[in-house]
């Protein structure tokens, strides 16, 4: 099987560039996870290139950010949605990070560096494009919304977020590649508001908040038929679940939770057209 993602060793780490600041809302750069930019030598590139590196706190085994990112990237790739061209998992050599400039809210990374030499992180190739917020400014909401709605893939993206229960797709989690052309970034929060789902929350009928849908459409039913049409091709995602299972086995400690997550994704994929129609299409 050919995987979308690879696990890279610490030897692929190049040079630390900077930490990202902020709380992950419209105008800031990073959320609770510690995010930095470093250069990596990805096997598919002949040179070291900048990558965004996200380190999620373990939270006593309850953090789901890493597996959420894997699910989002792998399945979006299968669905043919635009994303940063390369992503990987990396064993980050923690002492090679600039811990002196680490934002205060991420002090857990300093504590972690005293306990272990490496830590797994989700990495995506840096793309020098703005988010819609950065391009338009938060006061140009009408123009920004119109441009995203003119993106030919936006209904497919909305259907995809319904399937994986992404509850945090907002205007700062897209990249504006060109006029009416966007790429998806950041899949760290699925199912639960903070992303830290548990097995009892994995109800295939869950009506997760589809943030981008409500940003783009005052009446979500306007997008319903297009989302249903996009979801009818979603069975292609089932082939990507084999890779998801591989990474789940490496990341999630609890076998019952791994099984519940796999079933959740399978059933949401299979039932996507009918569920989206029931939720949004008025006919």
Q: pLDDT at position 52, please?
A: 98
Q: pLDDT at position 28, please?
A: 41
Which residues share a beta bridge with 52? 37, 124
Q: pLDDT at position 222, please?
A: 97
Q: Where do the structural domains in the chain lie, given as residue ranges?
A: 7-125, 132-280
Q: What does each C-alpha distance from 54 to 30, 124, 228, 237, 249 come to in angstroms?
A: 9, 9, 33, 25, 20
Kindly tell me if the per-residue pLDDT of 180 is higher than 60.
yes
| 5 CB-near residues (< 8 Å, 6+ apart) | 70, 73, 74, 87, 88, 89, 243, 247
Query: Residues in the chain, how many?
Result: 283
Run of H or E including 267: helix 255-270
Run of H or E including 34: strand 34-40
Kindly tell me if the per-residue pLDDT of 257 is higher than 90.
yes
Q: pLDDT at position 283, please?
A: 58
Mean pLDDT of 147-160: 98
Q: Are 228 and 273 in contact, with CB atoms under 8 Å apart?
A: yes
Tokens read off for 40: 């990596």
pLDDT in tens, 112-129: 999 999 999 999 999 999
Tokens read off for 27: 């105008």
d(CA 250, CA 262): 14
Confidence (pTM): 0.95
Q: Give the CATH class of 132-280.
A: mainly alpha
pLDDT in tens, 76-119: 999 999 999 999 999 999 999 999 999 999 999 999 999 999 99
**Residue 173 burial (C-beta neighbours within 10 Å; 0-12, 13-18, 19+):** buried
d(CA 144, CA 206): 29
Q: Specify the range with the lowest mean pLDDT, choosing from 17-31, 68-82, 176-190.
A: 17-31
Q: Are 92 and 7 in contact, with CB atoms under 8 Å apart?
A: no
pLDDT band at 21 (very low <50, low <70, confident <90, very high): confident
Tokens read off for 223: 């997008």
| 62 CB-near residues (< 8 Å, 6+ apart) | 196, 198
State whether residue 122 is helix, strand or coil: strand
| 13 CB-near residues (< 8 Å, 6+ apart) | 38, 40, 90, 92, 93, 96
Mean pLDDT of 221-250: 97
Kindly report the CA angle at 249 between 248 and 254, in degrees rounded to 5? 90
**Residue 69 burial (C-beta neighbours within 10 Å; 0-12, 13-18, 19+):** buried
Kindly tell me if the per-residue pLDDT of 31 is higher than 60.
no
Q: Are 192 and 168 in contact, with CB atoms under 8 Å apart?
A: no
| 149 CB-near residues (< 8 Å, 6+ apart) | 216
pLDDT in tens, 163-175: 999 999 999 999 9
Tokens read off for 13: 């780490």
Q: Specify the range with the lowest mean pLDDT, choosing from 17-31, 110-124, 149-163, 222-236.
A: 17-31
Q: pLDDT at position 91, please?
A: 98
At residue 86, φ and ψ (nearest 5 deg) are -130, 145
């Amino acid at each position: 099987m050919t995987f979308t993602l690879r696990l890279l060793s610490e030897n692929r780490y190049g040079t630390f560039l900077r930490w990202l600041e902020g709380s992950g809302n419209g105008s800031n750069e990073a959320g609770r996870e510690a995010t930095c930019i470093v250069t990596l030598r990805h096997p598919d590139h002949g040179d070291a290139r900048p990558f965004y590196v996200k380190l999620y706190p373990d939270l006593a085994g309850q953090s789901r950010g890493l597996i959420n990112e894997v699910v989002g990237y792998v399945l979006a790739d299968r669905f043919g949605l635009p994303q940063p061209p390369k992503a990987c998992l990396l064993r980050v050599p923690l002492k090679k990070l600039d811990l002196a400039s680490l934002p205060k809210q991420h002090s857990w990374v300093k504590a972690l560096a005293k306990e272990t030499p490496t830590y797994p992180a989700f990495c995506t190739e840096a793309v020098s494009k703005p988010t819609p917020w950065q391009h338009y400014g938060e006061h140009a909401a009408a123009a920004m919304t119109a441009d995203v709605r003119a993106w030919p893939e936006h209904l497919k993206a909305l259907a995809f977020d319904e399937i994986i229960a992404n509850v945090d797709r907002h205007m700062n989690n897209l990249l504006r590649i060109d006029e009416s052309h966007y790429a998806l970034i950041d899949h760290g929060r699925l199912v639960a508001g903070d992303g830290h789902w548990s097995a009892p929350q994995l109800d295939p009928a869950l009506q997760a908040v589809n943030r981008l849908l409500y940003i783009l459409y005052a009446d979500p039913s306007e997008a319903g038929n297009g989302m249903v049409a996009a979801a009818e091709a979603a069975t292609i995602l089932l082939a990507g679940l084999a890779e998801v299972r591989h990474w789940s086995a490496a990341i999630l400690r609890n076998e019952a939770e791994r099984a519940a997550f796999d079933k959740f994704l399978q059933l949401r994929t299979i039932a996507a057209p009918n569920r989206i129609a029931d939720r949004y299409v008025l006919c």
